Amino acid sequence: AQSVSQHNHHVILSEAASLELGCNYSYGGTVNLFWYVQYPGQHLQLLLKYFSGDPLVKGIKGFEAEFIKSKFSFNLRKPSVQWSDTAEYFCAVISTDSWGKLQFGAGTQVVVTP
Amino acid sequence: EAGVAQSPRYKIIEKRQSVAFWCNPISGHATLYWYQQILGQGPKLLIQFQNNGVVDDSQLPKDRFSAERLKGVDSTLKIQPAKLEDSAVYLCASSSGTTRYNEQFFGPGTRLTVL
Protein backbone atom coordinates (compact mmCIF):
# COMPACT_ATOMS: atom_id res chain seq x y z
CA ALA A 1 0.00 0.00 0.00
CA GLN A 2 1.11 3.52 -0.71
CA SER A 3 2.48 5.39 2.32
CA VAL A 4 4.16 8.66 3.16
CA SER A 5 6.72 9.08 5.95
CA GLN A 6 7.80 12.34 7.47
CA HIS A 7 11.00 12.07 9.45
CA ASN A 8 10.34 14.50 12.27
CA HIS A 9 7.19 15.09 14.25
CA HIS A 10 8.43 18.26 15.95
CA VAL A 11 11.14 20.73 14.98
CA ILE A 12 12.14 23.78 17.00
CA LEU A 13 14.53 26.31 15.55
CA SER A 14 15.46 29.96 15.82
CA GLU A 15 14.70 32.69 13.33
CA ALA A 16 17.17 32.84 10.44
CA ALA A 17 18.06 29.17 10.83
CA SER A 18 17.73 26.87 7.85
CA LEU A 19 14.91 24.35 7.70
CA GLU A 20 14.79 20.98 6.03
CA LEU A 21 11.90 18.59 6.48
CA GLY A 22 12.22 15.05 5.20
CA CYS A 23 9.54 13.18 3.29
CA ASN A 24 9.73 9.69 1.81
CA TYR A 25 7.03 7.79 0.02
CA SER A 26 6.59 4.17 -0.89
CA TYR A 27 5.12 3.73 -4.30
CA GLY A 28 6.79 2.27 -7.34
CA GLY A 29 4.85 4.05 -10.03
CA THR A 30 4.61 7.65 -11.12
CA VAL A 31 3.55 10.06 -8.42
CA ASN A 32 2.70 13.68 -7.96
CA LEU A 33 4.07 15.23 -4.76
CA PHE A 34 2.91 18.07 -2.56
CA TRP A 35 3.68 19.98 0.57
CA TYR A 36 0.78 21.51 2.48
CA VAL A 37 1.02 23.92 5.38
CA GLN A 38 -1.39 24.71 8.19
CA TYR A 39 -0.68 27.90 10.08
CA PRO A 40 -2.16 28.20 13.58
CA GLY A 41 -5.92 28.70 13.34
CA GLN A 42 -5.93 28.54 9.55
CA HIS A 43 -6.91 26.08 6.86
CA LEU A 44 -4.62 23.62 5.16
CA GLN A 45 -3.14 25.29 2.10
CA LEU A 46 -0.86 24.23 -0.72
CA LEU A 47 2.78 25.26 -0.32
CA LEU A 48 4.20 23.70 -3.49
CA LYS A 49 3.79 20.77 -5.84
CA TYR A 50 5.77 18.60 -8.22
CA PHE A 51 4.28 16.95 -11.27
CA SER A 52 7.16 16.62 -13.73
CA GLY A 53 10.16 18.45 -15.12
CA ASP A 54 12.72 20.24 -12.96
CA PRO A 55 12.95 18.24 -9.73
CA LEU A 56 13.64 21.40 -7.76
CA VAL A 57 10.36 23.22 -7.27
CA LYS A 58 9.77 26.56 -5.68
CA GLY A 59 6.70 27.44 -3.71
CA ILE A 60 5.27 30.33 -1.79
CA LYS A 61 7.06 32.21 0.99
CA GLY A 62 10.56 31.17 -0.06
CA PHE A 63 10.06 27.43 0.31
CA GLU A 64 11.46 24.91 -2.14
CA ALA A 65 11.48 21.15 -2.40
CA GLU A 66 13.60 18.66 -4.28
CA PHE A 67 12.29 15.45 -5.78
CA ILE A 68 14.88 12.66 -5.78
CA LYS A 69 13.29 9.75 -7.58
CA SER A 70 16.01 7.23 -6.69
CA LYS A 71 15.49 7.95 -3.01
CA PHE A 72 11.68 8.23 -3.17
CA SER A 73 12.11 11.54 -1.37
CA PHE A 74 10.62 15.02 -1.58
CA ASN A 75 12.30 17.13 1.08
CA LEU A 76 11.18 20.64 1.91
CA ARG A 77 13.71 23.42 2.52
CA LYS A 78 13.87 27.06 3.45
CA PRO A 79 17.25 28.79 3.83
CA SER A 80 16.20 31.24 6.53
CA VAL A 81 13.01 30.82 8.53
CA GLN A 82 10.90 33.49 10.13
CA TRP A 83 8.69 33.40 13.20
CA SER A 84 5.70 33.41 10.83
CA ASP A 85 6.77 30.02 9.46
CA THR A 86 5.56 28.40 12.68
CA ALA A 87 3.05 25.87 11.39
CA GLU A 88 2.38 22.22 10.72
CA TYR A 89 3.74 20.91 7.44
CA PHE A 90 2.33 17.91 5.59
CA CYS A 91 3.85 15.99 2.74
CA ALA A 92 1.32 14.33 0.41
CA VAL A 93 1.36 12.05 -2.60
CA ILE A 94 -1.05 11.19 -5.40
CA SER A 95 -0.30 8.14 -7.49
CA THR A 96 -1.11 8.48 -11.15
CA ASP A 97 -3.58 5.62 -11.03
CA SER A 98 -5.79 7.33 -8.46
CA TRP A 99 -8.11 10.25 -9.02
CA GLY A 100 -7.33 13.05 -6.62
CA LYS A 101 -6.74 10.71 -3.67
CA LEU A 102 -4.13 12.49 -1.59
CA GLN A 103 -2.11 10.31 0.78
CA PHE A 104 -0.76 12.49 3.60
CA GLY A 105 2.17 12.01 5.93
CA ALA A 106 1.68 12.45 9.67
CA GLY A 107 2.90 16.03 9.60
CA THR A 108 5.77 17.94 11.19
CA GLN A 109 5.08 20.66 13.72
CA VAL A 110 7.61 23.45 13.23
CA VAL A 111 8.10 26.08 15.90
CA VAL A 112 10.30 29.08 15.11
CA THR A 113 11.45 31.04 18.12
CA PRO A 114 12.25 34.76 17.89
CA GLU B 1 -13.99 34.04 -3.93
CA ALA B 2 -15.46 32.45 -0.83
CA GLY B 3 -13.67 29.42 0.53
CA VAL B 4 -14.97 26.04 1.61
CA ALA B 5 -17.43 26.44 4.46
CA GLN B 6 -18.01 23.87 7.16
CA SER B 7 -20.28 23.69 10.17
CA PRO B 8 -20.31 23.24 13.02
CA ARG B 9 -16.72 24.09 13.94
CA TYR B 10 -16.84 22.09 17.14
CA LYS B 11 -19.04 19.27 18.37
CA ILE B 12 -19.00 17.27 21.57
CA ILE B 13 -21.17 14.18 21.85
CA GLU B 14 -21.35 11.01 23.86
CA LYS B 15 -20.57 7.63 22.38
CA ARG B 16 -23.45 5.97 20.58
CA GLN B 17 -24.97 9.33 19.70
CA SER B 18 -25.35 10.55 16.14
CA VAL B 19 -23.73 13.58 14.57
CA ALA B 20 -23.78 15.30 11.19
CA PHE B 21 -21.37 17.68 9.54
CA TRP B 22 -22.11 20.04 6.68
CA CYS B 23 -19.87 21.29 3.89
CA ASN B 24 -20.42 23.94 1.24
CA PRO B 25 -17.65 23.78 -1.39
CA ILE B 26 -16.30 26.60 -3.46
CA SER B 27 -18.86 27.59 -6.08
CA GLY B 28 -18.47 25.62 -9.28
CA HIS B 29 -16.17 22.98 -7.83
CA ALA B 30 -17.23 19.58 -9.11
CA THR B 31 -15.20 17.44 -6.76
CA LEU B 32 -15.72 17.28 -3.01
CA TYR B 33 -13.71 15.34 -0.45
CA TRP B 34 -14.19 14.43 3.19
CA TYR B 35 -11.08 13.70 5.24
CA GLN B 36 -10.65 12.48 8.80
CA GLN B 37 -7.65 13.82 10.72
CA ILE B 38 -6.93 12.09 14.01
CA LEU B 39 -4.63 13.91 16.42
CA GLY B 40 -1.00 13.35 15.47
CA GLN B 41 -1.81 12.00 12.01
CA GLY B 42 -2.26 13.43 8.57
CA PRO B 43 -5.68 13.71 6.95
CA LYS B 44 -7.12 10.46 5.62
CA LEU B 45 -9.59 10.46 2.74
CA LEU B 46 -12.99 9.07 3.70
CA ILE B 47 -14.99 9.75 0.56
CA GLN B 48 -14.68 11.60 -2.73
CA PHE B 49 -17.60 12.88 -4.80
CA GLN B 50 -17.56 13.93 -8.43
CA ASN B 51 -20.65 16.11 -8.76
CA ASN B 52 -23.21 13.99 -6.86
CA GLY B 53 -21.63 10.60 -7.60
CA VAL B 54 -19.20 8.74 -5.36
CA VAL B 55 -15.72 8.24 -6.87
CA ASP B 56 -13.98 6.62 -3.89
CA ASP B 57 -15.36 5.54 -0.54
CA SER B 58 -12.99 2.68 0.09
CA GLN B 59 -11.87 4.06 3.47
CA LEU B 60 -15.31 5.05 4.73
CA PRO B 61 -16.50 2.84 7.63
CA LYS B 62 -19.85 2.20 6.05
CA ASP B 63 -21.36 0.48 9.06
CA ARG B 64 -21.49 3.82 10.86
CA PHE B 65 -20.50 6.58 8.43
CA SER B 66 -22.58 7.87 5.55
CA ALA B 67 -22.25 10.82 3.25
CA GLU B 68 -24.31 12.40 0.54
CA ARG B 69 -23.99 15.25 -1.88
CA LEU B 70 -27.41 16.22 -3.07
CA LYS B 71 -27.60 18.18 -6.32
CA GLY B 72 -23.81 18.08 -6.60
CA VAL B 73 -23.25 21.05 -4.29
CA ASP B 74 -23.46 20.84 -0.49
CA SER B 75 -22.55 17.66 1.32
CA THR B 76 -23.26 16.12 4.68
CA LEU B 77 -21.26 13.50 6.54
CA LYS B 78 -23.02 11.53 9.25
CA ILE B 79 -21.79 9.23 11.98
CA GLN B 80 -24.31 6.92 13.61
CA PRO B 81 -23.54 5.69 16.23
CA ALA B 82 -20.33 7.44 17.20
CA LYS B 83 -17.44 5.65 18.88
CA LEU B 84 -14.64 7.07 21.00
CA GLU B 85 -12.16 6.51 18.16
CA ASP B 86 -14.16 8.82 15.91
CA SER B 87 -12.78 11.81 17.82
CA ALA B 88 -10.98 13.76 15.11
CA VAL B 89 -11.11 16.80 12.89
CA TYR B 90 -13.28 16.27 9.83
CA LEU B 91 -12.06 18.25 6.86
CA CYS B 92 -13.95 19.03 3.71
CA ALA B 93 -12.12 20.00 0.54
CA SER B 94 -13.16 20.82 -2.99
CA SER B 95 -11.50 21.07 -6.36
CA SER B 96 -12.53 22.12 -9.85
CA GLY B 97 -12.39 20.10 -13.03
CA THR B 98 -12.38 16.42 -13.76
CA THR B 99 -8.70 15.78 -14.44
CA ARG B 100 -6.67 13.51 -12.22
CA TYR B 101 -5.49 16.31 -10.06
CA ASN B 102 -6.73 19.79 -9.44
CA GLU B 103 -5.65 21.73 -6.37
CA GLN B 104 -7.77 20.90 -3.38
CA PHE B 105 -8.98 23.77 -1.22
CA PHE B 106 -9.67 22.88 2.38
CA GLY B 107 -12.26 24.17 4.81
CA PRO B 108 -11.58 24.97 8.48
CA GLY B 109 -12.73 21.55 9.66
CA THR B 110 -15.12 20.32 12.34
CA ARG B 111 -13.49 19.15 15.55
CA LEU B 112 -15.47 16.22 16.97
CA THR B 113 -14.99 14.99 20.51
CA VAL B 114 -16.70 11.76 21.49
CA LEU B 115 -16.95 11.19 25.24
> How far away is chain A from the Cα of B9, in angstroms, using its nearest Cα?
12
Q: Do A106 and B42 touch (CB under 8 A)?
A: yes
A31 falls in which pLDDT band (50, 70, 90)?
A: confident
Give me the residue spans of the domains in chain B: 5-114
pLDDT at res. B99: 62
Mean pLDDT of chain A: 92
Instruction: Determine whether A107 is exposed, middle or buried from the number of CB atoms within 10 Å of its CB (0-12, 13-18, 19+).
Output: buried
Nearest to A99 among B55, B93, B105 (CB): B55
Instruction: Kindly tell me if the per-residue pLDDT of B102 is higher than 80.
Output: no
CATH of B5-114, one of 1.10.10.10, 3.40.50.10490, 2.60.40.10, 2.40.440.10: 2.60.40.10
Write out chain A residues lying below 8 Å of B33, CB-based: 100
pLDDT at res. A108: 97
pLDDT at res. A94: 87
pLDDT at res. A61: 93
Instruction: Kindly tell me if the per-residue pLDDT of B71 is higher than 90.
Output: no
Half-sphere exposure of A74 (CA within 13 A, CB side): 29
Spatial distance between the Cα atoms of A15 and A6, rounded to a whole number of angstroms: 22
Instruction: Kindly tell me if the per-residue pLDDT of B100 is higher than 70.
Output: no
Q: Do B43 and A104 touch (CB under 8 A)?
A: yes
Q: Do B107 and A43 touch (CB under 8 A)?
A: yes
Domain containing residue A40: CATH number? 2.60.40.10
Write out chain A residues lying below 8 Å of B2, CB-based: none
State the pairing for strand pair B110-114/B10-13. parallel
Q: Do B41 and A43 touch (CB under 8 A)?
A: no
Angle at B34 between CA A64 and CA A43, to 5 degrees: 45
Q: Do B100 and A99 touch (CB under 8 A)?
A: yes
Quick check: A3 contacting B, CB < 8 Å? no
How many structural domains comprise chain A? 1
Task: Give me the total of CB pairs closer than 8 Å, taking one residue from chain A and one from chain B.
Answer: 57
Spatial distance between the Cα atoms of A3 and A31, rounded to a whole number of angstroms: 12
Instruction: Kindly tell me if the per-residue pLDDT of A16 is higher than 90.
Output: yes
* Residue range A51-87, pLDDT digits in tens: 889 999 999 999 999 999 999 999 999 999 999 999 9
Domain of residue A32 covers: 3-113
Instruction: Kindly tell me if the per-residue pLDDT of B111 is higher than 90.
Output: yes
Mean pLDDT of chain B: 93
A4 falls in which pLDDT band (50, 70, 90)?
A: very high
> How far away is chain A from the Cα of B13, in angstroms, using its nearest Cα?
23
